[in-house]
Chains A and B, each alone.
Chain A
Amino acid sequence: MFENLDPTLLARLQFAFTVSFHIIFPAFTIGLASWLAVLEWRWLRTGNPVYAEIYRMWVKIFAVTFGMGVVSGVVMSFQFGTNWSVFADKGGNVLGPLLGYEVLTAFFLEASFLGVMLFGWNRVSSRMHFTATIIVALGTLISAFWILSANSWMQTPRGYRVGTDGLLYPTDWLGVLFNPSFPYRFAHMLTAAYLTTAFVVAGTGAYYLWRQRHLKHARVMLGMAMIMAILVAPMQLVLGDLHGLNTLKHQPAKVSAMEGLWETQRGAPLTLFGWPDQEGETTRYALEIPKLSSLILTHELEGEVKGLKEWPKDERPPVAAVFWSFRVMVGIGMLMIATGVIAIVLYFKKRLFDTRWFQYWCMALTPAGFIAVLAGWFVTEIGRQPYIVYGLLRTGDATSPVVGTSIAISLTAFVIVYGFVFSAGGFYILKLIAKGPPSEEQAYGDHGVTKPPIVIGGKGAQHV
């Protein structure tokens, strides 16, 4: 039934599907965990119950998201072998220890202390609970460190040699870990995760303001989110630019695809929009700004930028996907920066919390971060093609000896299961948002408990 389908294409589709779904959850939980730590800190410092109530609302959303991140992440730890066993064999010496360290330094930490964070209210002191929140937040960052180092190594491999047996052997661990694209990718991704969370929180706060509910909580949510939009969104532009320059140095073909540029030229124009035609080797219907591409990439008006024709056809990434994903990512980034600017203006006009159209604006941007993160990963991963390890191992040579039918069936199963399970998860998150933070009277669960849940050594709170 699927004999005619290319197993490599199927394996790529299946991997792209599971990893794209997976990245949505960490992109959210990385930011959320750090924000929860800040909220709990503010609460312990000020004693203002609003912070605690916001915490208790979002920690539930965190738990649902984290659960989905765990189950989709367990899948990933097997996918290298099920989909790319030749890659696993050849690259295992280099990448294996990195993933091993991720499990040992991050996954256990997160998983264990998440239990304390969620269920430990009545069982540990508030100080210990705060510590657990911080540990979980640190765990998410440590995890990002290892996995982004591994991914960056696949983009810009360093510190290895190719053995006589064709396997890759590490020669310099620091070179492997801190490979040239890693610092940029790490900073860019963490910032993206923080922005993703900020815009979900902003959208939620704006929704409450619009509906005139939970006003005290909504102001804190929107206010804190706007601080992120004002400070971090412009920073992301700078980081993205630096990351792009780094890519230009190490993976110039990817940048040419991002720009939709085919001919090597001085004073290259920036193509705002257009339709890259892989076969015809041109970008159709291009809307261009003269010399801007040279200016951005070389910081000179007449700087030389390489076109895709520099590389043979079988060395070029799929241009249209990279070109368009890049525009989606940058476009959303600009909207985020604009949000920050608007917020500043409204703040000084003292209208930040009661401008109706800005509430719609923020609600509309709620999923913006997720879309930008996915688009960004499409740029970097599709832009790496046709290689799985850039310049070393082609994706087509890395595939597992699994028949196309099996992959097609597993892809179908993943689509159905993920579609069902994660839609349900999204639905429950929306339900939690609709319910909002617990109000004073029913603040402490639904069991008729009226005393605060956090009483140090206070088991009695449950049995009032």
Chain B
Amino acid sequence: MFSFEGFLDLPLIWYGLIATAIFLYVLLDGFDLGVGVLFPFAPSDQCRDRMMNSIAPFWDGNETWLVLGGGGLFAAFPLAYAVLMPALYIPVILMLLGLIFRGVAFEFRFKADAKSRHIWDYAFHFGSLAAAFMQGLIIGAIVQGVKVQGRSFAGGPFDWLNAYSVMTGVALVFGYGLLGATWLVMKTEAATQDWARKCASYTLGYVGLFLAIVSISMPLMNAQIRALWFGLPNFFLLLPIPTASLVLIIMIWRDLHSGREYRPFLMSIGVFLTAYLGLAISLWPWLVPFEITFRQAAAAPTSQSLLLIGTVILLPLVLTYTGYCYYVFRGKASHEGAY
């Protein structure tokens, strides 16, 4: 049976690939979930039409990264998938239900008559909100550790629920709100854009606050993470990450008040990248903290090898035509029904 085990560190490569896929999901679905979070606060129905049109061609592709994250985890680290899904049963199901409501809203909203359209406006908003909140909550639950016995989850049905995970849930809602608002600054104009700038400034403040809380609380909660970040020389090596985060937040603030259209979105991506890196470093090398490492969870070398061939060929292709689609729909979104 063929395998690249002999000359490639397969589990490490797959750890990197899955981490990348999840990060791309967070960014891409992040901005369109964020648009859903901000949706009911928009000043007019015309604004809402523009907001919807700015993401309608992309949401489906964006959500596919979640399927890649889930499917990829199953393929490359089946043990982690098999432990995490039962552990996070309720929040995962609630997230999925949220995604259903907001996903169908794209099509249904334009098909509905004026009377029932508001149903799908709310479905879009509350679905996006629930999905964003549950994703944040899932992260908060995972970083606190998962009970495992043998090869199975061994905790209770509500292990994921506590004040900390609720806090990270709220934090991600604001995070996605920031991505969504800066996306709208880039993709809309006039009144919608002015409103989006205000939303971006508002959410930015909360993002800064929550980032600070998480950065301080994670080392306090776990000795291992504390040792990692505050030992020497690590402290100085890792210092650039929170510093970059802080600098980016200040720069976004200034850009939002100076009329720039593209940079706030790009720098919001930067903020997410620093936060994600910080999280990844804290949890290294755990896939199921603090029980199963990525090496223990790895699929058979031949399975990881087979999918690696396809990934090396197909992922650049996927990124290329995803880029092409963003290029086709470049420029400002209109409020007219699109097709």
Contacts and interface: CB of A to CB of B under 8 A. Distances in A.
Interface of A: 56, 59-60, 63-64, 66-68, 70-75, 77-78, 80-82, 85-86, 88-89, 91-97, 99-105, 107-109, 111-116, 118-121, 123-124, 167, 169-173, 400-403, 405-406, 410, 413-414, 417-418, 421, 424-425, 428, 431-432, 445-447, 462
B90 A60 contact: no
A428 B81 contact: no
Interface in B59-73: 60-61, 63-64, 66-68, 70-72
Nearest to B123: A421
Interface of B: 1, 56-58, 60-61, 63-64, 66-68, 70-72, 74-76, 78-79, 81-86, 89-90, 92-93, 96-97, 99-101, 103-104, 106-108, 111-112, 151-154, 157, 299-300, 302-303, 306-307, 310-311, 314-315, 318, 321-322, 324-325, 328-329, 336-339
27 contacts: A60-B111, A63-B107, A64-B108, A64-B111, A74-B66, A74-B99, A75-B96, A80-B81, A81-B86, A85-B82, A85-B85, A88-B74, A92-B79, A93-B299, A94-B303, A97-B307, A104-B314, A114-B60, A115-B58, A115-B60, A120-B329, A121-B339, A123-B328, A170-B303, A418-B100, A425-B108, A446-B337
A81 B74 contact: yes
> Which 9 pairs from chain A and chain B are nearest by CB?
A92-B78, A81-B85, A96-B75, A115-B57, A100-B75, A71-B103, A89-B82, A85-B82, A111-B60
Nearest to A447: B336
A425 B67 CA distance: 23
A82 B81 CA distance: 9
A111 B90 contact: no
Given A74-B67, A123-B329, A425 B104 contact: yes
Nearest to B305: A97
B142 to A, nearest CB: 14
B154 A401 contact: yes
Given A60-B111, A73-B67, A100-B74, 9 more contacts: A64-B111, A85-B153, A88-B74, A93-B299, A107-B67, A109-B321, A111-B63, A121-B339, A424-B108
Given A104-B314, A108-B322, A428-B108, A97 B75 contact: yes
Contact of A103 (B56, B72, B100): B72
State the main secondary structure of chain B at its contact with A: helix
B303 A424 contact: no
A432 B113 CA distance: 12
Given A78-B85, A115-B329, A70 B63 contact: yes
Contact of B89 (A119, A121, A406, A446): A406
Contacts of A118: 56-57, 338-339
Contact of A71 (B75, B99, B310, B338): B99
A72 B106 CA distance: 15
B201 to A, nearest CB: 30
Q: Which of A78, A115, A121, A413 has the most CB of B within 10 A?
A: A78
Contact of A88 (B56, B82, B89, B325): B82
Given A88-B78, A400-B89, A428 B112 contact: yes
Contacts of B315: 104
A446 B110 CA distance: 12
Given A96-B74, A97-B307, A60 B83 contact: no
Contacts, number: 243
A425 B107 CA distance: 9
A119 B338 contact: yes
Nearest to A421: B104
Contact of A424 (B58, B75, B104): B104
A115 to B, nearest CB: 3
A93 B78 CA distance: 7
Given A100-B310, A118-B338, A124-B328, A92 B67 contact: no
B152 A103 contact: no
Contacts of A100: 68, 71-72, 74-76, 307, 310-311
Given A71-B103, A170-B303, A59 B67 contact: no
Nearest to A403: B157
B89 A410 contact: yes
Contact of A417 (B58, B67, B101, B328): B101
A417 B97 contact: yes
A432 B103 CA distance: 19
Given A97-B307, A103-B67, A431-B111, A85 B157 contact: no
Given A85-B85, A108-B318, A417-B101, A119 B96 contact: no
A74 B328 contact: no
Nearest to A104: B314
A92 B338 CA distance: 42
Contacts of A406: 89-90, 157
Given A96-B75, A96-B78, A401-B152, A67 B103 contact: yes
A82 B85 contact: yes
B111 A432 contact: yes
A83 to B, nearest CB: 8
Contacts of B154: 401
Contacts of B107: 63-64, 67, 425, 428
A447 B328 contact: no
A63 B325 CA distance: 17
Nearest to B336: A447
A96 B99 contact: no
Contacts of B328: 115-116, 120, 123-124
B76 A96 contact: yes
B51 to A, nearest CB: 15
A167 to B, nearest CB: 8
Given A77-B71, A116-B325, A108 B78 contact: no
Nearest to A161: B1
B337 A445 contact: yes
B168 to A, nearest CB: 20
